[in-house]
Amino acid sequence: MATVSFQQATRVYPGGDKPAVDKLELEIGDGEFMVLVGPSGCGKSTSLRMLAGLEEVNEGKIFIGDRDVTDLPPKDRDIAMVFQNYALYPHMTVADNMGFALKMAGIPKAERDTRVMEAAKLLGLEEFLARKPKALSGGQRQRVAMGRAIVRQPQVFLMDEPLSNLDAKLRVSTRTQISALVTRLGVTTVYVTHDQIEAMTMGDRVAVMKDGLLQQVDSPLALYDHPANLFVAGFIGSPAMNLIEGKIVEGGVRVGDFVMPVAREILAKAAGEDSLVLGVRPENLVVAEQGLAIDVDLVEELGADGYVYGTMAGLDTAEKLKAQQIVARISTRTPPQRGTSVKLNVADPKLMHVFSKATQQRLND
């Protein structure tokens, strides 16, 4: 087990005009489950492949523990890419299917058996070790594939969108299993996904990337509660945070005909700007006497809660189509009706996020 450290690591593709990964600075703790997340082309997969040795590091360094691995070939890095090999061999037992790579590595039989047994216990596969793999279910095959990586006892597990090839149901159960396993094993893991829900539910910490740049790295809740910039605010959370632009006025920001109060010291940070972007999570909006007037377009009830989708009131049909959608999670027994108008306000001013439109950065604490 080991730490992983990206130090100003940069990858420029031949012919590329800007880096695919730009001066990535990221410290991953021993035993930590780090998720790299972002939209396609953000550099998350390239970062993982730099760590794996598949992509050259043009500038900067990468360390695994105290070893500089920047220029080492993949096989000398003591890492395991999980799920890259799914094939199950029909003549071999499940135990041999899990342990054959150890044989190739010249590890003695007694040691191989011990490691396979340990992995099988972790994976709930002890009863299957002596069987041939033919009748295994999809989930069991996944676990054998996981077992192949576990028995190698690498310093770091690397997983590149491991769930993208599974159907929806297997995806959810495998997600839970991977989280539980990695926690029990305590092996440092770097996991790449484009799915922020996957990232938020699995990672100890999540690194959000965009255009080759690390935007923010933090615990899932810190990302959710304190997004550092507009991109992270919009990317993390689903339904997404409402991001509403307004003009700076005395005492706050005017949106439509309502002034959302913003503290003077926050407004002071935006000296020279005339607009700000306010961010409010759907669950932090409440129906109030005073607030943003919203025309309700759709109400979606999910058990005790409901999501209200609407647009700013007073727009004509053409404007409505282009207008930004506002989403609120309303936990009332009598949700507003479709076609009516409601006023929404922030439940607690502390729950409002304020961003500079010019720098995109967060202005409040």
Partner 1 sequence: MPRFLSSRPDSRLIPLPWELPLSQWPEDHLVALPRGISRHVVRFIKVGNAVYAAKEVLEHLALHEYRLLTELHRAGTPSVEPLAVITGRLGSEDQPLDPVLVTRHLEFSLPYRSLFAQGVRSETVGRLLDALVLLLARLHLVGFLWGDVSLSNVLFRRDAGEFAAYLVDAETGEMHPRLTDGQREHDLAIATTNLFGEFCDLEAGKLLDDSLDPQRLVDSILARYRELWAELTGAEEFSDTEMFRIEKRVRRLNALGFDVAELAIDTSPDGSRLRIQPKVVDAGHHSRRLLRLTGLDVEENQARRLLNDLDTFRARSNQASVDEAVVAHRWVTESFAPVVAAVPDDLRGKREGAQIFHEVLDYRWYASQREQREVPLLEATAGYIRDVLTTLPDEAIAPEAVHLDGRQLANPYDPSAGFVDDSDEPMPVDPWEDIEESEPEPGPAYLDIDALRARSKPSPQ
Which C-beta is closer to partner 1: that of 86 or that of 108? 86
For residue 25, what are the CA distances in angstroms to 22, 74, 100, 169, 214?
9, 21, 37, 36, 8
Q: How far is the CB of 353 from partner 1 (least distance, A)?
A: 15
Q: How far is the CB of 67 from partner 1 (least distance, A)?
A: 16
Minimum CB distance to partner 1, residue 100 (Å): 5
Extract the tokens encoding 117.
């047994």
The DSSP output letter for 62 is E
**Residue with smaller CB distance to partner 1, 172 or 315:** 172
Shortest distance in whole angstroms from residue 354 CB to partner 1? 20
Closest CB to partner 1 among residues 120, 230:
120
Residues 6+ apart with CB under 8 A from 112: 99, 102, 103, 151
Q: Which amino acid is at 11?
A: R
Report helix, strand or coil for 207: strand
Q: Nearer to partner 1 by C-beta: 51 or 209?
A: 51
* Cβ at position 265, least distance to partner 1 in Å: 23
Question: What's at 254, amino acid-wise?
Answer: R
Measured CA to CA, the distance from residue 160 to residue 350 in angstroms comes to 37
Closer to partner 1 by Cβ: residue 259 or 351: 351
Please tell me the distance from the alpha carbon of residue 161 to that of residue 154, in angstroms, as a whole number: 19
**Least distance CB 137 / partner 1 (angstroms):** 6
Of 127 and 289, which CB lies nearer to partner 1 in the complex structure?
A: 127
Nearest to partner 1 of 84, 359 (CB atom): 84
Bridge partners, residue 319, by sequence: none
Q: What residues make contact with partner 1 under the rule CB under 8 A?
A: 13-15, 49, 52-56, 73-75, 84-92, 96-97, 100-101, 103-104, 123-124, 127-128, 131-132, 134-135, 137, 139-141, 143, 164-165, 167-169, 171-173, 177, 196-197, 200-201, 219-222, 224-225, 237-239, 283, 302
Nearest to 69 by CA among 148, 156, 153: 156
Burial category of 308 from C-beta neighbours within 10 Å (exposed 0-12, middle 13-18, buried 19 and up): buried
Which one-letter amino acid corresponds to residue 116? V
Nearer to partner 1, 143 or 210 (CB): 143
Instruction: Measure Cα distances from 30 to 34, 125, 239, 286 in Å.
Output: 10, 27, 33, 42
Enumerate long-range contacts of 109-116, CB under 8 Å, 24 or more apart.
112/151, 115/151, 115/153, 116/147, 116/151
In contact, 315 and 295? CB cutoff 8 Å = yes
- CB 56 to partner 1: min, Å: 5
The CB-of-55 to partner 1 minimum distance in angstroms stands at 6
